[in-house]
Amino acid sequence: MIDPARALVRYLSSVRTLVILSLAIPAIAAADPPPAFKLVEDAALGTQLQPDHPLLGNPAAAAITRCTAAIEPSSGALFWLEISRSGAITAARVHGSGKPEVDTCLAAALRKTPVAKLPAPIVLAGHIDLKLRDGEGLWPTPRQSTTSVLVAAHDAKWQLTVNHLAYTANRAADIAAALDGASTAIAACAPRRGSSAAPAEAIVWYDGKAIVRSGTPAYDTCVAKAIDTVTLPAPESALWMKLAIMPPGEPLAPLTDKGALSREQGLRDALTTTVRSRKALLLACLDGHAKAALSKVGVELRAGKASIKTVSTGDAEADRCVRQRLAGIAIPNANPDDKLELEVTLERQ
């Protein structure tokens, strides 16, 4: 025989369980969606980055996600932040998403990101990966290169080397060529570092208007003006660069373990270095020429400058491009009457 009291208890217990479940379901549905972005710190000036301890606190995820909710981007973006000693973000730049409204919104959202107090002001650069609307993938992420690019010093006291480059809607080889074109103006800025200057680092932002930070304002303003002459290929193009400011020198070590080199061997190494340090720039001449190939070039030294003398890619247009991209490059340790010709392979032996 069924006990009425026990049946009532079981009934009330089942009703209580249903009520709890019905309350829990709306709570789950109301949870915040996963962030539609990933923020990555790539380079800094004034501090060393530690991947396991990011400088930025939790970004305003909801604000950043809202930036792409109404207007869909077409790419990930680069960012640049200037941060005071107190941890306040005093300047924020974002570019590259393909939509100016999204860039502006992202910059405003980043300015609200908390940062701990710092020993000194810093500059922080990186990129923001943005998810597709379906959440299953990413828009194209900004590209990066850590292949060193030497900007010709033109006999100046200081020379710039690009050690880390990040860019959107552009090519690394084209950026290197543009910097080479601006190298004379950049070299002319060297005296503005002052007579007691020491080697240093710098970081550059460029989205059509350059910002340079090295700690020497007069030098930074001059270099920014030189970089402003660089033409970006598309409205969404942007870049930042981490630089070393050093006395002019060979970008690659001589191919010898001897403590001293003969003058001829030194010149041979200088010519070899001149070609190999521009390998990516020369190989870019093959783009759009499927049957062209390039593994070696003939280079000559005349009047203190190096130029391509012989090249055979199998395509006349590519040959012209190679000649144009390595023509009249000053060799610092060459005298005007030095003459030399040699064949250089594009792979280190």
Q: Tell me how long the chain is.
A: 349
Q: Show me where the domains of the chain are located.
A: 37-141, 145-246, 263-345
As averages over each run of 10 residues, the pLDDT of the chain (349 residues) reads: 55 46 41 73 91 85 87 95 95 97 96 90 96 82 89 91 93 90 95 93 97 97 97 96 84 40 72 82 86 92 91 92 88 83 74
- Strands (E) in 131-271, as ranges, are 143-145, 149-150, 159-168, 200-206, 210-213, 238-246
Task: Give me the long-range contacts of 280-284 (CB less than 8 A, separation at least 24).
Answer: 280/147, 280/172, 280/173, 280/176, 281/173, 281/176, 281/177, 281/325, 281/326, 282/322, 282/325, 282/326, 282/346, 283/173, 283/346, 284/171, 284/173, 284/174
Query: What CA–CA distance (Å, rounded) separates 276 from 267?
Result: 14
Instruction: Name beta bridge partners: 40.
Output: 127
Supply φ then ψ for residue 220, to 5 degrees. -60, -45
